[in-house]
Structures are given as structure tokens and as C-alpha cells.
Structure 1
Amino acid sequence: MKTAGGSDAAKRQAGERAAEAVEDGFVVGLGTGSTTAYAIEAIGRAVDDGLDVRGIPTSFQSRQLALEVGIPLTDLDAVDGVDLAIDGADQVVDDADTATDGALIKGGGAAHAREKLVDAAADRFVVVADPSKLTDRLDRSVPVEVLPDAHTVVADRVRELGGEPTLRDAERKDGPVVTDNGNLVLDCAFGPIGDPDDLATRLSRIPGVVEHGLFVGLADATYVGTDDGVEVRTY
């Protein structure tokens, strides 16, 4: 498998280590992205060996991979709860001396609305990442999923908050990216984000916003894969 950013070995280490946390009978949230794909593949191999689990995919991509590797699937409304969610991140705060330790930016794959729903429902949410995703302060653009009719209004409100919104364009079709939910994505640059929790609250209050890519206070641990092993951060 070829992946973008970080080494394949580091991503595999993180994904496969997270898969080891899956126990018999678990309902597992299956995140989206290149690192999480290694976890899904590892869970599929465990299913082949007799592990009894059900997966809840967070995107078309993760659903297709889960089906390919033989993981039985279900939905949030068909289960009593989610035991464990495994998901990647575009950026993770790695600074134990700050209140923002473990805050994330997600949504590079435009699946963050479904990801946040599943990750927040889980008893335990584990992030899988390679060292290139670690930072002492979030500074990537924040993906904001918006209703199509609301994107210009939301863009104006984002500018009032000090951000610079850009409608995400599709790479292999004319026009914008359309999410699995049928919505559009604004990538909103705020520069270094000193208070992710406050910005998350302000973005959520904007009418027309379906969900944003700031995940604050949700992660229980981050498994950071390296070429030699895995480092675990807990929050």
C-alpha cells in the first residue's frame, strides 16, 4: 500500500497496534485514511482467525475496505454502543503541558462529520498517526462541512471569525468536493489556533455548518507509529 505523508512502516505500526485493542464481541468504529486502513486490514485478519466483531464505517472508503477484508458491518442505530473507535488525524497536538494536548484536526478526506459522530459515541477513541502529524499547536486549515445553499453565508461568518475560507475543489471532476452526506467543504485557514475549544464552539454555532474538523477532548489516546515501534500518548 502506498501512502501520502509519513512512512508506510510507521503507519502500519500504528494501525496494527491499535487493532490489537479490539476484543471479541466489540463494536468498532472504523475510521478513514491511510493509517486507519492498516488497522482495518489487521482487524480483518483477526476476523479470519475467529474474532467476533462488528464494524461501523465512517466513510464509503472505510466501508469498502472493511467489506473486502471480511469485517461484518452494522450501523449506529442498530447497536447499544461503540466499544472502540480507531481513526486517523491530519494534525494532533502533542504537548502534555497544555490543555490542548490531544486536540485534532480531521477532515482531509471530507469524512469528518461521520467520523466525529462515531468517535464521540465510542467508549474509547484511539487515534493512529505517524510523527509527521504531531504538532505543538494546530495550524492546518479546518475543514467545515456545510449545506450547499449555505456555503457563501458560512464563508462570510468564517471571515468574521478571522478565518479565510476556500471551497474545496474536486481533483478528478469539475466543481467542488461533495461529501458522502451530499454537502460541500470549506477549508478554513485561521493560522495557529490558540484555543481550539473556543473556535470549535464558534464554528458549531454558525447556521448551515453540518460539522467541522476540530476534535477537542474526544481522543483517549494516540498511537504514534515509528519505523521501530509505537509510542502511546494518553489523555
Structure 2
Amino acid sequence: MFTQQQLKEHVAQAAVEHILPLLAADSVLGVGTGSTVDLFIDALAPHRERFRAACSSSERSTQRLQQHGFQVLDLNTVETMPVYVDGADEIDGRLNMLKGGGGALTREKIVASVAERFVCIADESKLVDVLGKFPLPVEVIPMAAASVSRRLAALGGKPARREGFVTDNGGWILDVSGLAITAPAELESTINDIPGVVTCGLFALSGADAALLSTQQGIRTLARQA
């Protein structure tokens, strides 16, 4: 039996093999945030000469990329990217995702929006039938935390501030438990429309295009259905 760490290492290597054919010498690669992405960056390091640069969704990933010798560009200088690679806290069979356990959900959503293709990498424990067992992160403007919490409670959730945590944008995170998210795109739109919300951790309006899932039997690939 492989450990969860080994499963993450396997999918990180599989992701490198998956994305390299999509990159050209002048390409910019979008890179997400999290423990599986850390391993992806490490596995990608021997191939850093295959493409021009990376664009990162967090200070954490930027530092790791730079430590491996990658050039990291500001997103404002990048018009398009062939692919964005990131993990997920939960993903369903339709490739809707719940993300933000690391607190980088806003920048992840922004960088992903510039990419032509989103590839999610995860171990098999992240595949669920219904999103919401993992608390849904919502980034908020600090002055709106109380009012947003009341609105989230009215939607059936139990919001709690992630104490001592501030995002790279200076926002706070409300982690919302108690949700069974059967209509993720609709809920994403509803939460994002609450005044004071920067964004929520649902990636359903624009979900993954493909997912690589590491299982005990090998790598399982899921593709978004048209």
C-alpha cells in the first residue's frame, strides 16, 4: 500500500509528463499552491529549460520555484498560458472543485482564469460524490467578516474565521462547514455576490478541464465532459 505522501509524489511526476508536451520554449506555465503542487514543482525542476517562465498563485509557490531556478513572472505581464496546474481539497466526478485549504484561493482563481487549460492533481482521497465535507473557504474583506458570516449562516453553513491567518491579499478566510454542495456553480455565484466577499473556494463556474488522480492502482485521468 502506498502512503498518501507517495501517492502525491506519483501524481506530481505524472503531471510533469502530462504538461510538458503542452509547453513550448516561449510558454509560461501557471502553477498553483499546496503540498501536492510543492512536489510537482520539485519534479518539474529538471525540465526548467523546456519553457520560458512560470506564473504562481502564492508567495509560497513563488519561493519554491525560484529556489529551483525558475523565472517567475507577474501575472500582469502575461497574456495567456497553455496550462495551469493546481491541487484541490475536494473534486467531484464532473470536475467541480473545492479549494482554498492553503488560503490562496483568490490568486489561484485569478491565475487559472488566464490559462487555456486547468489540470487538477490530487490523490484519490480528494474525489467525492458531493462537495462540502471539507469546509468551504471564503476570502473576505476584514471589515465585512461579521456581515458575510450572517449571510453564509442563512445559506445553511457554519462559518468560522481562520484565526491568525491573513491571505497574501490582506484578506481573512471564513471556513464554512455543514454544507452539502449539490449545485456548486449556483452556490459559487451566490456567495461571490455577497458584498465583502473577495471570492469563495468553489471552482465550478470554471472547473478543471482534466484531473490526474493518484490511486493504489496507478494514475486515473478524468476529463471534463462537453
Report the TM-score, using the length of structure 2 for normalisation.
0.91
Of residues 165, 180, 184 in structure 2, which corresponds to 1:196? 184
Of residues 174, 177, 198 in structure 2, which corresponds to 1:210? 198
Q: What is the rounded CA distance, in whole Å, between the counterparts of 1:119 and 1:19 in structure 2?
A: 17
Q: What is the rounded CA distance, in whole Å, between the counterparts of 1:104 and 1:158 in structure 2?
A: 19
2:149 counterpart of 1:155: yes
Of residues 208, 211, 214 in structure 2, which corresponds to 1:225? 214
Contact 2:33 2:58 in 1 (8 A): yes
Contact 2:28 2:51 in 1 (8 A): no
User: Partner residue of 2:120?
Assistant: 127
User: Partner residue of 1:172?
Assistant: none
Q: What is the rounded CA distance, in whole Å, between the counterparts of 2:12 and 2:27 in structure 1?
A: 17
Amino acid in structure 2 at the alignment position of 1:60? E
Q: What is the rounded CA distance, in whole Å, between the counterparts of 1:18 and 1:35 in structure 2?
A: 10
Q: What percent of counterpart residues are identical? A: 37
Contact 2:156 2:179 in 1 (8 A): no
How has the CA–CA distance of structure 1 residues 85 and 166 changed in structure 2, closer, same or farther, with 3 Å as cutoff?
A: same
Contact 1:55 1:72 in 2 (8 A): yes
Q: SS of the residue aligned with 1:219?
A: coil
Contact 1:145 1:211 in 2 (8 A): yes
Q: What is the rounded CA distance, in whole Å, between the counterparts of 1:114 and 1:150 in structure 2?
A: 20
Contact 1:13 1:226 in 2 (8 A): no
Contact 1:120 1:218 in 2 (8 A): no
Q: List per-residue Cα deviations over 1:180-211 (Å, max 9, x = no partner).
A: 11110000124211111111011011000001
Q: How does 1:65-76 map to 2 (within 5 A)?
A: 65-76=64-75
Q: What is the rounded CA distance, in whole Å, between the counterparts of 2:207 and 2:52 in structure 1?
A: 23
Q: What is the rounded CA distance, in whole Å, between the counterparts of 1:190 and 1:200 in structure 2?
A: 16
Q: SS of the residue aligned with 1:67?
A: helix
How has the CA–CA distance of structure 1 residues 225 and 53 changed in structure 2, closer, same or farther, with 3 Å as cutoff?
A: farther
User: Partner residue of 2:77?
Assistant: 78
Contact 1:7 1:227 in 2 (8 A): no
Of residues 131, 134, 139 in structure 2, which corresponds to 1:138? 131
Contact 1:119 1:218 in 2 (8 A): no
User: Partner residue of 1:12?
Assistant: 9
Q: SS of the residue aligned with 1:135?
A: coil
User: Partner residue of 1:114?
Assistant: 107
For the aligned residues, what is the CA RMSD? 1.3
Q: What is the rounded CA distance, in whole Å, between the counterparts of 2:125 and 2:27 in structure 1?
A: 30
Contact 1:43 1:71 in 2 (8 A): no
Report the TM-score, using the length of structure 1 for normalisation.
0.88
Deviation of 1:228 after TM superposition, in Å, equals 5.0
User: Partner residue of 2:92?
Assistant: 93
Q: How many residues align?
A: 216
Q: List per-residue Cα deviations over 1:156-187 (Å, max 9, x = no partner).
A: 11111111110011xxxxxx311111110000
Residue ranges of structure 1 left out of the alignment (5+ in a row): 1-5, 95-100, 170-175
Q: List per-residue Cα deviations over 1:49-68 (Å, max 9, x = no partner).
A: x3123111111110111011
Deviation of 1:38 after TM superposition, in Å, equals 1.6
Q: What is the rounded CA distance, in whole Å, between the counterparts of 2:201 and 2:108 in structure 1?
A: 9
